[in-house]
Amino acid sequence: MRIPVNTASHQYEVVIGNNILTSAIASLYEELPKADKTIVFTDKNVWEAQGNYFSENFPYPFEVLVMPAGEECKSFENFKEAHSFLIEQKCTRKSLLMAFGGGAVGDLSGFVAATYMRGIPFVQIPTTILAHDSAVGGKTAINHPQGKNLIGAFYQPEAVIYDIHFLGSLSEREIRSGMAEVIKHAMISNEIWLQELLTIPSITNISNEQLATYLKSGIEVKAKIVAEDETEQSVRKYLNFGHTYGHAIEAAAGYGGLAHGEAVVIGMIYALILSERYGKVTRTFTKTFLQFAYDNGYPLEAVSNYPFETLEAFLVKDKKVEYGELQFVLLHTIGEPFVQTIELSECREVDLEYRALLMEVCK
């Protein structure tokens, strides 16, 4: 399966399939200008689980940098280490960087590619479900101790190669986290697709064929939005549904304390409560989705671990704050997102309402 991504700055394809690494890379090298070096950035966990398959199926010589796993990958220190590695390897603007891993590896690699010698080409080779979202669209970043993804750039890859083979080693938690972004894409685009997802008996037990179809649908939603708004001036903000409150609770937990997708689901429920006030979302639907999240093991109890005062400190540093006002992505109805300014005092009210709802549903 091939999905075109057409942005103002760059056009490329997302290639999805099973055991396609060799053929997809060979095809890519025929299309791109000749690279003087190929560098692979990955992390410790991915390399241990998938390094042999990657090395055996990658058809060209490469050098590899194995980085720390998780959000530690996106630290200032690792950003510097990654640049040092490229310099030591005598990389030039003709070198090609491969991001082989999940969202953290992709975010870090993309930002390194954007900044090394003012920009070198890179390719995303995602190994997680979550990365079907982060690998597409050119958002790259590292973290600051005071906030997630605060330092970065919009920088599009040359291609995204999505070999479903890599998903076979994912833990249940990683599958659950990744499916959160699939659900988000359905929430902002298609009620019928969302209802289908909500009737899956177990979100962590889906066949590869069905998963590939869901991933394709999610990438198509993102590609359409990114084509219209590459640098998040308007409709691309819709992709942040669930992320404002979600990022705050993820930051409060300490990066790695909650998986990104777990935090996003927590944030989507918060956004649905707000959508009851400003849209036509019903309390019945909010409860249905909350029950679905609880039944599928999303750690909703994390909300009770942090008082609103703790979350508030992270909310006000969110990238979506404009002129001192919080911008939330909400839903008129399923599939119809919009952006709404919310006062901090109302955020506190909704936080209280959320905690009461959790006590009611998650008994």
AA identity, residue 112: V
The structure's pTM equals: 0.89
Portions of the chain given CATH number 3.40.50.1970: 2-169
The larger pLDDT score, comparing residue 70 to residue 269, is at 269
Q: Which of 51-55, 98-102, 167-171 has the lowest mean pLDDT?
A: 167-171
Q: Is residue 64 predicted with pLDDT exceeding 70?
A: yes
Mean model confidence pLDDT for the chain: 92
Phi, then psi, of 220 in degrees rounded to 5 = -65, -40
- Which CATH code is given to the segment(s) 172-361? 1.20.1090.10
DSSP state of 204: T
Cα distances (angstroms) measured from residue 207 to each of 28, 51, 203, 271? 28, 24, 10, 30
Return the exposure string of 187-221: e unless at least 16 CB atoms fall within 10 Å of the residue's CB, then b.
bbbbeebbeebbeeeebbebeeeebbebbbbbbbb
Query: Looking at domain 2-169, which CATH architecture does it have?
Result: 3-Layer(aba) Sandwich (3.40)
Portions of the chain given CATH number 1.20.1090.10: 172-361
Q: What is the pLDDT of residues 93-142, one digit of tens each?
A: 999 999 999 989 999 999 999 999 999 999 999 999 988 888 888 899 99
**CA 198 and chain centroid, separation:** 20
**Can you give the pLDDT at residue 1?**
83
Give me the helices (H) in the chain, please.
21-31, 44-57, 76-88, 103-115, 131-134, 172-187, 191-198, 208-228, 243-252, 260-278, 283-295, 308-315, 344-361
Q: Which residues are catalytic?
A: 118, 139, 181, 222, 232, 236, 240, 243, 247, 260
